[in-house]
Amino acid sequence: MAAGWLRHLAGDAVEVRSAGSAPKDQINPVAVEAMREVGIDITGNVPHLLDTEDVRASDAVITMGCGDACPIFPGKRYEDWELTDPAGQSIEVVRQVRDEIRGRVEKLIGELQVS
């Protein structure tokens, strides 16, 4: 959902990479529905494993609870967003997570001075 929001809100001003430390084989269908409700299609995203090249090529790395599984490189901006895991949650909970992610993405865009 964060990648969907970032692409939607920042457009081509930011190159978005999305990966996980333990990705599932498909995107959470409830997350897909919650994002569809706000006009964002994330069905084209394919979960993949976070690797060192993803991190090395990034200026900012936003994690959501991957802990020691995430590669660390000096000089990178790191933030760990503590959020409710939407896996297995109701659409109501996933909507709350979606909206919280939007606020955090908007803040990040402002801090990165993306225009």
Of residues 16 and 70, which shows the higher confidence score? 16
Find the mean pLDDT for residues 16-22: 79
SS3 79: strand
| Contact (CB, 8 A) for 2 and 101 | yes
**pLDDT category of residue 1 using cuts at 50, 70 and 90:** very high
SS3 82: coil
Angle at which helices 29-37 and 91-111 cross, to 10°: 70
Q: Is the pTM of this model over 0.85?
A: yes
Look at residue 22 and tell me whether its pLDDT is greater than 90. no
**pLDDT category of residue 115 using cuts at 50, 70 and 90:** low
User: What is the dihedral sign for C-alpha 1, 6, 38, 84?
Assistant: positive
Q: In terms of residue numbers, what domain contains 81?
A: 2-111
- The CATH number for 87's domain is 3.40.50.2300
**pLDDT category of residue 67 using cuts at 50, 70 and 90:** low
Tally of structural domains, the chain: 1
Show the tokens assigned to 19.
């990966």
